[in-house]
Chain A
Amino acid sequence: MTPTASTPLLAVDDLSVEFGASRVIENLSFSVSAGQTVAIVGESGSGKSVTSLSIMRLADMLGANYPTGRILFQTAAGEIDLLKLDQKKMRSIRGKEISMIFQEPMTSLNPVFTIGDQVAEILKLHEGKSNSAALAEAKRLLDMVRLPDAAELLTRYPHQLSGGMRQRVMIAMALACRPRLLIADEPTTALDVTIQAQILNILRDLQKELGAAVIFITHDMGVVAEMADDVVVMWKGKAVETGKALDIFERPSNAYTRTLLAAVPKLGSMTGEEFPKRLPLTVLENGEPKLSGVERIQNTARYDAAPLLSVRDLVVRFDIKKGLLGKVTHRVHAVEKVSFDIHPGETLALVGESGSGKSTIGRTIQQLQKATAGNITFSGKPLSAMSMAERHNLRRDVQYIFQDPFASLDPRKTVGFSVAEPIRTHGLLDSEKEIAKTVDALLERVGLTSAHTRRYPHEFSGGQRQRVCIARALASKPKLIIADEALSALDVSIQAQIINLFMDLQEERGLAYLFISHDMAVVEKMSHRVAVLYLGQIMEFGNRRQIFETPSHDYTRRLLSAVPVADPRRRKPLAMIEGDIPSPVRAVGNEPVLLAREEIAPGHYVARSA
């Protein structure tokens, strides 16, 4: 049989995959044709990555079995079933006919070989090129993915490249032998949004040029809307819905798809709203999506009261010592003259990309980091004027929630112990009975049960762990919670639940949040005011409507335009930003220019260009 336009290039038919006794993929079928992009979407545990590894037969190395199904692939020699091939035959297909781009560009390249060697390796292997011919071709490939100074890059090592550059090298490597099928497994998830936009563009252009079929695996509905022709929605190892992208987004027929789409925060969905809004959640109930919970305008910020926290001209720099005597030659200018206030009951968002200094600001407020200059005032008292005891108490009033709920709980301590720890540390309660009662109440408040107190972190899912972290943060009755990318590691449906939990707690307790995030759509849903940071300075500051509806700084506009929106009708040319985010590392004496800010509307400040 010869491949024709009607025969798909790759057809997965009734595929099941098992690891030991657990079946992670069940009777999955879908197909992809030349020039077409099929997106496989799903949340963690849906089996989408196992699907890609099974097509490559790399899942075998992890111990996978294939009890049912076929994976039919059209080659020049006719149709073959990839599941029937031995590993030796698979190796002649891998990297040549089917290639793959992985999620983590920081760890995808071998640290001990040069970029040139790693790209040339695949050309030598599959095309029998000589070393010099392969290197010449590698240079051409690096040019193709728009990497500057390709010739020089060939001799560099991975650690000398940024994440975005490394992912381009990966793409160059994947496309080196002109594969007919490219599998991209969350290729942009670990990247900043402006870099993500660049990478998506390159992938789209090259696909057009090479006519390859693409399987795009992602959890991000925005990226799906941007990239896919067809969509396969996976849930618990099964394809629950398959269809054209437009149909899936506009007329989803499956209950899970509808729930998933309802949970996706859409940039621009809050246009015209004065305040953040707590929205009811769409949850699956007896197989049907139902709205649950109340809708409430989150008018909790008390601007009439004195600011809870004032940050004035905060500067944080890190010295980089080099040479024999450890002389300071460079400095990381993490934060440069940042000022803002947070009022009780307010959510202030700090947004920005890598190196913007947003996390450093949070860490400095929590006294995990020393400020180089500037003032931090809490409840009217400057941090510099506080005694040791007062500083200790400040740690009770300000709590921190980290990004990774897996790493921020002690794996050897019970959840109950972790939640009780702040109470004991600060001596808030004496009797064990009282403490136990408070811990139970806290866990129940965040949606867990008191039965959970005696369990260990590994027994919980990511979302549940983040709830535990919130309960722990609440234990010392704080006034301010710093949430540092606290939602970034969570699936969207869990994210929506946690956003509502944050809002409910704010309403109940008048909590203020410093919400540090790179996700513009979530920020739009949650925050009262927003500060846009770039290289340690505030580029734009204003209330939510000012930032999202009348963005006035060039960088804010670029940042917003780079966010993919979960609506296939709103596809747009993404190439608005070229090049990498500049580094905040500068030579000593080469100080950054401090940008002056002007107030263009009441409370809306924009940095003037340098």
Chain B
Amino acid sequence: MAAFLVKRLLQAVFVVIAVTLTVAFAIRLTGDPALMLTQGAGSVTEADLVRIREGLGLNEPFFVQYLNFLKSIFTLDFGKSFLGGTPVSLLIGKALPATLALAFTSLIVSIVISIPLGIKAATARGKWVDQMIRILSLVGLSFPNFWLATMLVLLFAIAVPLLPPSGMDGFESFILPAITMGIILTATNVRLVRTTMLETLRSQYIMVARAKGLSENAVLYKHALRNCAIPLITFFGLQFGGLLGGIVVVERVFNWPGLGTLAFDAVGARDYPVLQAVITVLSLMIIGINLLVDIAYGLVDPRIRTE
């Protein structure tokens, strides 16, 4: 297990290097930041531009700029936002917890709903309960997230004003965005849980567990679920990455003060230090989550742990 983890950690280091290189390079493709900064500022001389470039370190060779960028990650100093001059790390520091809180709540909502529903569908295979669950999940899959978000706001915040329509302020404000994200995730997850469960239930050791006289719940939730864990954890891990991407839209609709909103505004304003930081932070998080998934494999499956 130790060797397995060290191997994964080393791989993660290479991925981090690849990702940061890509980010640093891609940002340069968007044009000259000095020009962008001075857009609409009236009379700008060539000397001004050179001064701005020097100030931003853009006159250095790419390699040095990359090292500076890496240094900025380690020191958490991503420079200042073009809008208002707030330090970028401060903006990220405020937005990141909001996004993480929403992402985790959505994922947990979806796991809590999809595991029992998926198991129910698997055990009632072919019966009407199974059909219903499958149809519902297909309906859930077909919702675009912006549409679902708008509908939920119309229904539960405007027509029946039970919940706040936007912003992050206390427990109630989590409900609508988390449900929006949760429903879409659940639709896929139910199907995945159902399929993995069906496969596991065919195993001989499930028959053995039943032959021991264990209750159906013990058979399903103790013996079978633990064996479904590997494919499920893999998928939930991957999904978390996708979730961070998809959150931009949902955050926008609910005016959620997270990374999505921050990135959205930064794109509009060509606020490239903020954008670069957001992309970097998201990438690092996805790498981190994949590492956690690898550790989780070892925890649930002794065949990996004792290798």
Chain A residues with CB under 8 Å of chain B are 56, 58, 61, 87, 90-96, 99-100, 102-104, 107-114, 121-122, 125-126, 157, 159-160, 170, 173, 322-324
What chain A residues lie within 8 Å of B226 (beta carbons)? 110, 112-113
Flag whether B306 is at the interface (Cβ < 8 A). yes
- For the complex of A and B, list the 3 residue pairs with the smallest distance between their C-beta atoms, beginning with the closest: A95-B213, A94-B213, A95-B212
Given contacts A157-B302, A159-B302, A324-B6, are A173 and B212 in contact (CB under 8 A)?
Answer: yes
Contacts of A107 in B (CB 8 A): 203-205
Question: Which residues of B are found within 8 Å of A126, using beta-carbon distances?
Answer: 213
11 contacts between A and B (CB under 8 A): A87-B216, A95-B211, A102-B207, A111-B227, A111-B302, A112-B300, A121-B214, A122-B213, A173-B212, A323-B3, A324-B10
User: CB distance A94 to B207 under 8 Å?
Assistant: no
Q: Does B64 reach chain A (CB closer than 8 Å)?
A: no
Q: Please pick, from A91, A122, A159, A324, the residue contacting B215 in the complex, using a CB distance under 8 A.
A: A91
Cα distance A160–B305 in the bound complex, in angstroms = 12
Residue-by-residue, is B200-227 near A (CB-CB < 8 Å gives 1, otherwise 0)?
0001110111111111100000010011
Say whether chain A's binding surface is mostly helix, strand, loop, or mixed.
mixed
CB-CB nearest in chain A for B216? A87
**By the criterion CB–CB under 8 Å, are B204 and A61 in contact?**
no
**Is A108's CB under 8 angstroms from B303's CB?**
no
A52 vs B214: C-alpha distance when bound (angstroms) = 18
Contact of B227 among A95, A104, A112, A324 (CB under 8 A): A112
B215's nearest neighbour on chain A, judged by CB, is: A91
Instruction: Beyond the given A95-B211, A111-B227, A157-B303, please list 5 additional residue pairs across the A-B interface where CB-CB is below 8 A.
Output: A58-B210, A107-B204, A107-B205, A111-B302, A112-B227
Chain B, 264-307, CB within 8 A of any chain A CB: 300-303, 306
Give which listed residue, B212, B216, B227, contacts A121 with CB less than 8 A.
B212
A273 to B295, alpha carbons, bound, how many Å? 63
Q: A108 — which chain B residues lie within 8 A by C-beta?
A: 204-205, 208
Q: Which one of A56, A110, A125 lies within 8 Å of B205 (CB-CB)?
A: A110
A110→B210 contact, CB < 8 A: no
A170 to B306, CA, bound (A): 22
Assembled-state Cα–Cα distance A87/B215 (Å): 9
A114 to B209 Cα, complex, angstroms: 14
Asked if A110 and B209 sit within 8 Å, CB to CB, the answer is yes
Pair B205/A96 contact, Cβ less than 8 Å = no
Chain A residue numbers with a CB within 8 Å of B215 are 91
CA distance A64 to B85 in the complex (A): 73
Contact pick for A125, options B208, B214, B300, B306, CB 8 Å: B214
User: Which of B3, B6, B204, B211 counts the most A-chain CB atoms under 10 A from its CB?
Assistant: B211
The complex places the Cα of A91 from the Cα of B214 at a distance, in Å, of: 7
Task: Let me know if A96 and B213 touch, CB within 8 A.
Answer: yes
- Separation of A110 and B227 alpha carbons in the complex (Å): 8
Cα–Cα, bound, A112→B107 (Å): 25
**For this complex, into which size category does the number of interface residues on chain B fall?**
20 to 34
| Known A-B contacts A108-B204, A324-B3; A125 and B210 likewise in contact (beta carbons under 8 Å) | no
Once the chains bind, are A94 and B211 in contact (CB under 8 Å)? yes
Instruction: Say whether B212 contacts A324, CB under 8 Å.
Output: no
Q: Which residue of A lies closest to B305 (CB)?
A: A157
Evaluate contact between A112 and B301: CB separation under 8 angstroms: yes
Main secondary structure of the interface of B (DSSP, over half): helix
Contact call B213/A92, Cβ cutoff below 8 A: yes
Across the two chains, which residue of chain A brings its CB closest to B223? A110
Q: How far is the CB of A356 from chain B (nearest CB, A)?
A: 26
User: B220 to chain A: closest CB distance in Å?
Assistant: 12
Residues of A within 8 A of B205 (CB): 107-111
Which residue of B has the minimal Cβ distance to A62?
A: B207
Given contacts A91-B213, A173-B212, A324-B6, contact A157 B306 (CB under 8 A): yes
Q: In the complex the two chains form, is A111's CB within 8 Å of B214's CB?
A: no
CA gap between A93 and B214 in the complex, in Å: 11
* Whole-angstrom distance between the Cβ of A94 and the nearest chain B Cβ: 4
Pair A125/B227 contact, Cβ less than 8 Å:
no
Q: How far is the CA of A104 from the CA of B212 in the complex (A)?
A: 16
Q: Which residues of chain A are near B302, meaning CB under 8 Å? A: 111-112, 114, 157, 159
Known A-B contacts A112-B301, A324-B3, A324-B7; the reply to A56 vs B223 at CB < 8 A is: no
Instruction: Mark contacts of B25-54 with chain A using CB atoms, 8 A cut-off: 1 yes-contact digit, 0 otherwise.
Output: 000000000000000000000000000000
**What is the CA–CA distance of A100 and B215 in the complex, to the nearest angstrom?**
17
Complex Cα distance, B214 from A114, in Å, reads 17
| A125/B209 in contact, CB under 8 A | no
Check A94 against B210 for contact (C-beta < 8 Å): yes
Nearest-Cβ distance from residue B162 to partner chain A, whole angstroms: 42
How far, in Å, is B4 (CB) from chain A's closest CB?
10
Q: Known A110-B227, A111-B227, A160-B306; judge A99-B3 contact (CB<8 A).
A: no
B76-132 at interface with A (beta carbon < 8 Å): none
Q: What residues on A are CB-neighbors of B208 within 8 Å? A: 100, 102, 108-110, 170, 173
A322 to B203, CA, bound (A): 30
Q: Which residues of A contact B6 (CB under 8 A)?
A: 324
Q: Which residues of B contact A92 (CB under 8 A)?
A: 213
Closest B residue by C-beta to A176 = B212
Do residues B204 and A56 form an inter-chain contact, with CB atoms below 8 A?
A: no
Q: Kindly state the separation between the CA atoms of A61 and B10 in the bound complex, as whole angstroms.
A: 47
Please give the distance in Å from B121's CB to the nearest CB on chain A: 16
Question: Looking at A93, A100, A109, A112, which has the most chain B CB atoms within 10 Å of its CB?
Answer: A112
User: With A and B bound together, what is the CA distance between A81 and B210 in angstroms?
Assistant: 20
CB <8 Å contact, A104 and B214: no
Contact among A95, A96, A159 for B303, CB-based, below 8 A: A159
**Alpha-carbon distance A92/B214, docked complex (angstroms):** 9
Query: Scoring B residues 226 to 238 as 1 if CB is less than 8 Å from chain A, else 0, what string do you get?
Result: 1101000000000
Q: How far is the CA of A95 from the CA of B207 in the complex (A)?
A: 12
* Residues on the B chain within 8 Å of A109, using CB: 205, 208
Highest count of chain A CB atoms <10 Å: which of B7, B207, B226, B303: B207
Q: Which chain B residue shows the least CB distance to A58?
A: B210
Residues from chain B with Cβ under 8 Å of A157 in the complex: 302-303, 306
Instruction: State A112–B200 Cα separation when bound (angstroms).
Output: 12
| Assembly CA distance A163 to B303 (angstroms) | 16
Bound complex: CA A85 to CA B273 (Å)? 71
The answer for the CA separation of A95 and B218 in the assembled complex, in Å, is 15
Q: In the assembled complex, how far is the CB of residue B200 from the closest CB belonging to chain A, in whole angstroms?
A: 10
**Residues of chain B from 169 to 184 with CB closer than 8 A to chain A in the complex:** none
Task: Report the Cα distance A170→B208, complex, angstroms.
Answer: 9
A38 nearest CB across to chain B (Å): 19
Which residues of chain A come closer than 8 Å to B301, judged between CB atoms? 111-112
Query: Quick check: A61 and B213 within 8 Å, CB to CB?
Result: no
CB closest residue in chain B, given A111: B303
Enumerate chain A residues within 8 angstroms of B306, measured Cβ to Cβ: 157, 159-160
Minimum CB–CB distance from B132 to chain A (whole Å) comes to 20
In the assembled complex, the CB of A86 is this many whole angstroms from the nearest CB of chain B, namely 12
Complex interface: chain B residues within 8 A of A103 (CB): 204
Q: How far is the CA of A159 from the CA of B3 in the complex (A)?
A: 19
- Contact A99 B211, beta carbon cutoff 8 Å: yes
Report chain B residues within 8 Å CB of A56. Answer: 211
Q: Which residues of B contact A91 (CB under 8 A)?
A: 213-215
- Cα distance A323–B215 when bound, in Å? 42
On chain B, the residues within 8 Å of A58 by CB distance are: 207, 210-211
CA distance A135 to B216 in the complex (A): 24
**How far is A322 from B303 in the complex, measured between Cα atoms in Å?**
15
Shortest Cβ gap from B130 to chain A (Å): 14
Enumerate B6-29 residues with CB–CB distance to A below 8 Å. 6-7, 10
- Would you call B7 and A125 a contact (CB within 8 A)? no
Q: Residues of B contacting A160 with CB < 8 Å?
A: 306
In the complex, what residues of B have CB within 8 A of residue A122's CB? 212-213
Per-residue 0/1 for B130-144: is the Cβ within 8 Å of any A Cβ (1 yes, 0 no)? Answer: 000000000000000
Contacts of B214 in A (CB 8 A): 91, 95, 121, 125
List residues of chain A with CB within 8 A of the CB of B10: 324
In this complex, what residue of A is CB-closest to B227?
A: A112
